[in-house]
Amino acid sequence: MSDRPPITLVDLSAMGVELLSGVGPRKLEGLRTLGIESLLDLLTYYPRRYVDRTREARIQDLAEGEEALVLGRIGSVSSRRIRGGRVIVVAEVRDGSGSLRCTFFNQPWREKQLTGRSSAGVGPGDAGLEVAMFGRIEVFRGQRQMTNPIVDVIGDPKGGRTGRIVPIYPQSEKARLSTWELGEWSAQVLRRSRERGIDDPVPEDVLDRHDLVGRQDAYAGIHAPSSMAEEVVARRRLVFDELFRLQLALVRRKREIEAASLGIRHVVDDGDDRAAAPGLVARYLGGLPYDLTGAQARAIAEIRHDLAGPVPMHRLLQGDVGSGKTVVAMAALLTAVQGGHQGALMAPTEVLAEQHAVGVRDQLQDVTLTDGGDTLLGERPLGIALLTNRTPAAERRRTLAGLADGTVDIVIGTHALIQDAVEFRSLGVVVIDEQHRFGVEQRAALRDANADGTVPDVLVMTATPIPRTAAMTVYGDLDTTVLDELPPGRVPITTSWARTDEAEADAWQLVRDQVAAGGRAYVVCPLIEDSPKLEASSAEETYERLATGELQGLRLGLLHGRMKAPEKAEVMEGFRTGALDVLVATTVIEVGVDVPEATVMVVLDADRFGIAQLHQLRGRVGRSDAPSWCVLVAHGVLTPDGEERLEAMVRSTDGFELAEVDLELRGEGAVLGERQRGRSDLKLASLRHDRQWVEIARDEALALVGDGSGLDDHPRLVEELDVLLAPEEEDFLLKS
């Protein structure tokens, strides 16, 4: 071994790939096309699959209908034009046992890829390239064939890998690099680093606890495994590294924020003589017409524990539709008021804010506060205000004055709550509903609301269930509470999939029957991505069709995102009070609209919607003890994913189960959205397949960081975090 210290990932990130032999200007351009600039980028550009030559499928052994990965050489390539100017490319692949005909429809560039010739020429070519073809085997007139298979070019015509395991790297037509070249360059990095070794700053006891190999062995085992078992062991270590770095960054920043923030120690003991209104929370909970679920009681206990401490709360409250999040939120807000502070509830839309305000005033109408003798008899009603951009000027002035002098105890509003003119006397607790609808600056502004430097406690609510592993990654800076029980008396919603015209006709009959019985119905129009104008037009057409056709004679209302706010409010009020029987709407009704009399939800072209949206839409009905129905209308030929989404909706009403299905179908990139980007991407780890490692990484990060000083003994690990997760990306992870 060398006397020089091991080479670190930070060192590798500072070395450009142009240092490698065989990387000239053209190859360098190709590598950059793939996002590979440094030796670390190359080392973390992992194979997407492997051909195990010890278990290689021979062409002559392949059966019809089987999906297979075939390794062979191009025998010949030809192309021809068909009607409409389209091109068919046909390639013959041989492996010594037989031949496979691969046909590519309307992919003229395949000829150039497989022969090195221009696709302008027509006729046979002969390249001899070694390729891997993945697809479904078909047999036609005794000839095995594949249609539009996935193609990976292994190497040059002179010869392929002699090793037993062939790594297949992700490739790009634009980059024009073979998987052979990528493998050779990775091997070069590993050979050059072997003398010094690759630094491994993860504590040995952590590696021992989870039976993880060292980093040098892991990188060698992922790029050039001698067996598939070695690849599995290598992948396990590198997956842990990715997740561990991510969790360390989240936990470290969480502790830094806690250390730098001056929290409010709230009064949580109802008998405490410091309370401005002893027993306020207990009086509220005791006045409910039903008992709390076990999950609600646990959630309130966890929140009260946070509120009593010196560190500002930053907690995510996850609860399925109808699980009773509002009661938990009210208990948190009243805890603030009980100690002489104020509470704020921020909703993403004016409709939802107004609805929250109606509900809060109804629930708290009889609550009074002890006011220290300032009023007659020493009591006053609880001050509740609504603040949105629709609030009339005079009422707005009164509300702003009440927030400043403390006579407004709880304010409900939209982003209007964080405008410059809003000043709180002492904001104690903030509840943010459907937090994914708010931007970074909006939430940060509420944390900076108090002039004395204290930071209010924040409770973030979502009715969109998030898989546990995704929550740990997306919201790793928040403590998480889950409401996993529904209040007693809720009747399950009957969900069906209307696949035919007859089944859709039955849905409209169900709507008419329910309206006749005193119920109301929603009809949700097709989702048209990125086109609010087309979506509004679709809603208007659907409204006209139903009003003069299937639902003629019923009182219909129309709601879409391009209507003016007063129009929306008028329609919603009509539906809420029963002046309208049916609400034809776009997804503006997805979140939070609460009309207990609504018993039917019909979603048109339901296969266009994601599972989370469908579940949210279904949650607009079933909000009383009356039976309710959700009908998903989708005719014709659907994609396999579309069918699976609808089948899952019919099969289950459990939002958390559906969230797991969503994760399986869409992948974590889609579920996490923009959270993943830049160097903080999970290149190897999968929240679907590596659930246990997400939890292990989280636990180990919490243990290592401790109260915030735990990383002081691990400077090399800190350096790695600081370089591989740039500060702006940590901020993005935490705030986005």
Q: What is the DSSP string of 428-465?
A: EEEEEESGGGS-HHHHHHHHT--TTSB--EEEEEESS-
Given a cut of 80, whether residue 95 has pLDDT beyond it is yes
Residue 221 or residue 166, greater confidence: 221
Shared domain check, 135 and 212: no
Alpha-carbon distance of 456 to 612, in angstroms, equals 30
Given a contact cutoff of 8 angstroms between Cβ atoms, the answer to whether 294 and 488 are in contact is no
Given a cut of 70, whether residue 732 has pLDDT beyond it is no
- In a domain? residue 310: yes
CB-based contacts of 493, cutoff 8 Å, min separation 6? 618, 621, 622, 628, 629, 630, 653
Token pair for 547? 């009003």
| Domain termination site, one of 605, 637, 652 | 652
Q: Of 91-100, 478-487, 703-712, where does mean pLDDT reach its minimum?
A: 478-487
Buried-state track 237-246, b at ≥16 Cβ within 10 A, e below 16: bbbbbbbbbb
Phi, psi of 496 (to 5 degrees): -135, 160
Residue 530 or residue 395, greater confidence: 395
Q: Exposed (0-12), middle (13-18) or buried (19+): which is 608, by Cβ within 10 Å?
A: middle
Alpha-carbon distance of 321 to 720, in angstroms, equals 41
Shared domain check, 552 and 533: yes
Q: If pLDDT is split at 50, 70 and 90, which confidence band does 671 have?
A: very low
Residue range 303-325: average pLDDT? 88
Shared domain check, 143 and 25: no
Residue 291 exposure: Cα atoms within 13 Å on the Cβ side: 5
Given a contact cutoff of 8 angstroms between Cβ atoms, the answer to whether 118 and 75 are in contact is no
Buried-state track 641-679, b at ≥16 Cβ within 10 A, e below 16: ebeebbebbeebbebbebbbbbbebbebeebbeebbeee
Q: If pLDDT is split at 50, 70 and 90, which confidence band does 55 have?
A: low
Q: pLDDT value at position 724?
A: 79
Give just the sign of the alpha carbon dihedral 224, 53, 149, 152.
Answer: positive
Q: If pLDDT is split at 50, 70 and 90, which confidence band does 274 have?
A: very low
- In a domain? residue 701: no
Shared domain check, 316 and 347: yes
| Domain termination site, one of 652, 674, 694 | 652
Q: pLDDT value at position 53?
A: 64
Q: If pLDDT is split at 50, 70 and 90, which confidence band does 137 have?
A: very high
Given a contact cutoff of 8 angstroms between Cβ atoms, the answer to whether 383 and 409 are in contact is yes
Given a contact cutoff of 8 angstroms between Cβ atoms, the answer to whether 550 and 602 are in contact is no
Selection from 307, 334, 40 nearest residue 190 by Cα: 40
Other Cβ atoms less than 10 A from the Cβ of 261: the count is 16
Selection from 80, 82, 81, 78 nearest residue 91 by Cα: 78
CATH of residue 134's domain is 2.40.50.140
- In a domain? residue 352: yes
- In a domain? residue 698: no
Given a cut of 80, whether residue 727 has pLDDT beyond it is no
Given a contact cutoff of 8 angstroms between Cβ atoms, the answer to whether 353 and 386 are in contact is yes
Given a contact cutoff of 8 angstroms between Cβ atoms, the answer to whether 632 and 606 are in contact is yes
Q: pLDDT value at position 676?
A: 39
Shared domain check, 578 and 560: yes
Alpha-carbon distance of 124 to 475, in angstroms, equals 56
Per-residue pLDDT reduced to its tens digit, 436-492: 545 445 556 666 668 888 889 989 888 777 777 777 776 777 788 988 887 777 778
Given a cut of 90, whether residue 535 has pLDDT beyond it is no
CATH of residue 224's domain is 1.10.150
- In a domain? residue 484: no
- Structural domain tally of the chain? 4
Per-residue pLDDT reduced to its tens digit, 391-424: 899 999 999 999 999 999 999 998 888 777 888 9
Given a cut of 80, whether residue 729 has pLDDT beyond it is no
- List residues bridging with 135 in a β-sheet: 68
Shared domain check, 67 and 41: no
Q: Of 264-278, 538-552, 703-717, where does mean pLDDT reach its minimum?
A: 264-278
Q: Rounded to a whole number, what is the largest CA-CA distance in the chain?
A: 100
Shared domain check, 375 and 426: yes
Q: pLDDT value at position 276?
A: 42
Shared domain check, 642 and 553: yes
Shared domain check, 626 and 586: yes
Per-residue pLDDT reduced to its tens digit, 59-73: 998 889 888 888 889
Token pair for 413? 């509003």
- In a domain? residue 265: no
Residue 256 exposure: Cα atoms within 13 Å on the Cβ side: 10
Given a cut of 80, whether residue 360 has pLDDT beyond it is yes
The single-letter code of the amino acid at 630 is C
Shared domain check, 63 and 40: no
Alpha-carbon distance of 390 to 413, in angstroms, equals 10
Given a contact cutoff of 8 angstroms between Cβ atoms, the answer to whether 265 and 340 are in contact is no
Token pair for 464? 């969109």
Q: If pLDDT is split at 50, 70 and 90, which confidence band does 2 have?
A: low
Q: If pLDDT is split at 50, 70 and 90, which confidence band does 113 have?
A: confident
Task: Kindly list the distances between the CA atom of residue 492 and the CA atoms of 441, 565, 604, in Å, as whole numbers in the listed order.
Answer: 39, 33, 21
Alpha-carbon distance of 172 to 149, in angstroms, equals 15
Shared domain check, 134 and 214: no
- The alpha carbon of 689 is separated from its chain's Cα centroid by a whole number of angstroms, namely 16
Alpha-carbon distance of 156 to 159, in angstroms, equals 6
Given a contact cutoff of 8 angstroms between Cβ atoms, the answer to whether 130 and 92 are in contact is no
Given a cut of 80, whether residue 154 has pLDDT beyond it is no
| Domain termination site, one of 633, 652, 671 | 652
Residue range 366-392: average pLDDT? 75
Q: pLDDT value at position 581?
A: 97
CB-based contacts of 456, cutoff 8 Å, min separation 6? 264, 312, 336, 341, 344, 427, 428, 429, 430, 446, 447, 449, 450
Alpha-carbon distance of 727 to 721, in angstroms, equals 9
- In a domain? residue 102: yes
- In a domain? residue 613: yes
Task: Give the Cα-Cα-Cα angle 223, 229, 234 (nearest 5 degrees).
Answer: 45
Token pair for 442? 């909006």
Q: What percent of the chain has pLDDT over 90?
A: 43
Per-residue pLDDT reduced to its tens digit, 119-135: 333 344 445 788 888 88
> Mapping DSSP to helix (H, G, I), strand (E, B) and coil, where does residue 21 land?
coil
Q: Which domain holds residue 515?
A: 493-652
Residue 291 or residue 530, greater confidence: 291
Other Cβ atoms less than 10 A from the Cβ of 347: the count is 27
Other Cβ atoms less than 10 A from the Cβ of 275: the count is 21
Q: pLDDT value at position 681?
A: 56
Question: How does the average pLDDT of the chain come out, rounded?
Answer: 84
The single-letter code of the amino acid at 79 is S
Shared domain check, 379 and 318: yes
Other Cβ atoms less than 10 A from the Cβ of 26: the count is 10
CATH of residue 416's domain is 3.40.50.300
Given a contact cutoff of 8 angstroms between Cβ atoms, the answer to whether 618 and 643 are in contact is no
Alpha-carbon distance of 233 to 251, in angstroms, equals 27
